[in-house]
Amino acid sequence: MFLKKMYVTIAVLSLAFLYFNCGGNEDSGQAQQEISALKGNSAEGQKYFAQTCSACHGMDAKGLPKLGKDLTTSAFLASETDAELLGFLKQGRLSTDPLNTTGVSMPPKGGNPAYNDQQLSDIISYLRQIHQ
């Protein structure tokens, strides 16, 4: 129960942060070009993954019961482009999202608002490397 309340609190705070800090005045075509121009560093991504994502997805990225999905065999991960995954990581997924199968919210940036696009791209590169 405590964990669920903690995740809900993190999700609400993360959404509030996004609401008050999103500019919305950047040309979307330019933003898409910048996202696709990022090249991830999988070694750095592994470190960031261990610091944040592993809390729910496990150190081996195989998921933890009732928390995070197995990312090593994720069909979702395989079906998305790097730019789409970057957008997903930046947004997160609420527990109420119909596509959320765990019932646990994934906060934006895994709950670490300090991550920038490059660091998130590094995580994506790491995930691509370990995906089977």
- Express each pLDDT in 17-69 by its tens digit: 444 444 444 444 555 545 555 789 999 999 999 999 999 999 999 999 999 99
Q: Does a structural domain hold residue 48?
A: yes
Domain count, the chain: 1
Strands (E), 11-128: none
- The two structure tokens encoding residue 57: 């997805």
**Residue 104 domain boundaries:** 2-20+38-130
Cβ neighbour number for residue 40 with a 10 Å cutoff: 22
Please say whether the beta carbons of 90 and 120 come within 8 A: yes
Q: Does a structural domain hold residue 105?
A: yes
- Can you give the CATH number for the domain in which 73 is found? 1.10.760.10
C-alpha distances (whole Å) from 21 to each of 9, 63, 70, 113, 128 are: 18, 31, 31, 11, 29
The whole-number average pLDDT for the span 65-89 is 96
Nearest to 116 by CA among 44, 61, 59: 44
Q: Does a structural domain hold residue 31?
A: no
